[in-house]
């Protein structure tokens, strides 16, 4: 029962902290809803500022509801015996072995997906629709869902089989081999995603010849960056939000612009946004994040390797392992359910590192492109995406991967 108490303390603390932070953000944004921050008074209208506040609050309230449902589901799966009931039912139906363990993990994924579906539907067709961002039809919503499930089956099932096989046959250091498989898989996905997976969901076309392409190619030359090509993605078929990103690695690197981004920004602003993304690459942020993720997954697999051999890990979380059979899938399921409760408390560290990287990428963009164009682009994107200009400082410190708009723009406005 000792670990039950530890888990409950962490669970209550994480749930309470999520709720408290969300309520702080709601109060702070609502308090500042009636006036545009002074530094944005000439750039953002009061109507746009209030829309951003209302959009932020609506998302937070939906998040609070999701947080509550997720908490109930987690307790139902663990301490209330849901995982035990599901595991026993599948044992009765399929018998012991690899197929039953894979079925257990797939069943949890399907149940979680079914619970999440109403929230995804509401967010897309109610919340996003209300604020003018949704461009997705219901047919596309379900098409995306079916494609996602099919991909998960085609890619995820063999990966699960490989990991569970290692758990069963590779001895006490199975977790080390499993980590190597996951690391190799992650690197492979970085390579194949832009060419084979992304086109399943979106159409990509080469950026047309013209002033924008010429300007972008000049920037790439200044930054000594070689890519496989410049592409425009039809993001507008799902959302009015705009973005730009890198996809792939090595020689398979692609630069992708949402068509909505090109619609909203002028060529100089698009160049500045890309210069920021190039800054992430040139400052080795992408490589650092990969290495950190590999190190963290190494630690998580090592921890799972130890926990999977401890009877209290199962028993104290409402599950009865088979003392003589194979419990690999059960251990994996339990670990995936419970570990986020504890890892949540490290969120501020990753947020802090991410904000530091954003400042560095902004500084790179100011040096290689134009700080004023990036400021102008950011103001437009904050406005068009209805991002609040007045976030709560504590909420920002805990969650935000990007610095608050006033601080970010003040940094860009100083001499570089």
Annotated active-site residue in 362, 373, 384, 392 = 362
Cβ-proximal residues to 127 (8 Å cutoff; 6+ apart), any chain: 58, 59, 62
**Residue 209 appears among annotated catalytic residues:** no
280 is in an annotated binding site: yes
158 alpha carbon, distance to own chain's centre: 23
Q: Is-catalytic flag, 277?
A: yes
357 is in an annotated binding site: no
Burial letters for 248-280: b for 16+ Cβ neighbours within 10 Å, e otherwise?
bbeeebbbbbbbbbbebbebbbbbbbbbbbbbb
Whether 350 and 344 have beta carbons less than 8 Å apart is answered as no
Instruction: Give the Cα separation of 392 and 24 in Å (integer).
Output: 7
Q: Is 358 annotated as a binding residue?
A: yes
Enter the DSSP assignment of 239. Answer: B
Q: Which residues contact 285 (CB under 8 A, 6 or more apart)?
A: 279, 357, 360, 361
Task: Given the residues 271, 277, 373, 384, select the one marked as catalytic.
Answer: 277
Looking at residue 265, what DSSP letter applies? S
Rounded CA-CA distance 61/64 in Å is: 5
Structure tokens belonging to residue 335:
């670990």
Catalytic residues: 277, 362
Pick out the residues of the known binding site for Zn(2+). 276, 280, 358
């Amino acid at each position: 029962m000792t670990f039950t108490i530890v888990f409950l303390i962490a669970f209550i603390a994480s749930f309470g902290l999520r709720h408290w932070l969300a309520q702080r953000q709601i109060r702070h944004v609502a308090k500042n809803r009636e006036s545009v921050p002074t530094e944005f008074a000439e750039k953002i209208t009061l109507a746009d500022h209030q829309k951003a506040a209302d959009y932020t609050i609506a998302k937070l309230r939906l998040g609070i509801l999701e947080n509550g449902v997720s908490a109930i589901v987690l307790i139902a799966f663990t301490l209330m015996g849901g995982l035990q009931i599901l595991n026993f039912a599948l044992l009765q139906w399929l018998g012991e072995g690899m197929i039953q363990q894979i079925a257990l993990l797939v069943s949890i994924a399907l149940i979680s997906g079914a619970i999440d579906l109403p929230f995804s539907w509401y967010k897309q067709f109610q919340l996003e629709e209300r604020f003018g961002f949704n461009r997705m039809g219901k047919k596309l919503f379900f098409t995306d869902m079916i494609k996602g499930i099919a991909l998960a089956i085609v890619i995820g099932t063999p990966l699960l089989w490989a990991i569970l096989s290692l758990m069963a046959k590779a001895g006490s250091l199975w977790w080390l081999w499993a980590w190597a498989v996951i690391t190799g898989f992650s690197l492979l996905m970085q390579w194949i995603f832009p060419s084979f997976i992304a086109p399943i969901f979106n159409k990509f076309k080469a950026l047309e010849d013209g002033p924008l392409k010429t300007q972008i190619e000049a920037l790439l030359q200044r930054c000594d960056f070689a890519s496989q090509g410049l592409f425009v993605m039809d993001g507008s078929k799902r959302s009015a939000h705009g973005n730009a990103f890198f996809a792939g690695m090595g020689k398979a690197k692609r630069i992708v612009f949402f068509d909505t981004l090109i619609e909203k920004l002028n060529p100089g602003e698009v160049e500045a946004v890309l210069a920021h993304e190039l800054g992430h690459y040139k400052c080795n942020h992408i490589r650092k994040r990969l290495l950190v993720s590999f190190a963290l997954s190494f630690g998580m697999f090592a921890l799972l390797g130890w926990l999977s051999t401890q009877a209290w890990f199962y028993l104290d979380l409402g599950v009865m392992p088979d003392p003589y059979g194979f419990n690999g899938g059960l251990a994996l399921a339990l670990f995936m359910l419970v570990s986020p409760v504890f890892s949540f408390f490290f969120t501020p560290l990753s947020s802090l590192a991410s904000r530091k990287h954003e400042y560095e990428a902004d500084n790179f963009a100011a040096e290689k492109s134009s700080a004023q164009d990036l400021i102008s682009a950011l103001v437009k994107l904050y406005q068009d995406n209805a991002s609040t200009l007045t976030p709560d400082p504590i909420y920002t410190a805990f969650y935000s991967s990007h610095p608050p708009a006033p601080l970010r723009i003040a940094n860009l406005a100083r001499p570089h």
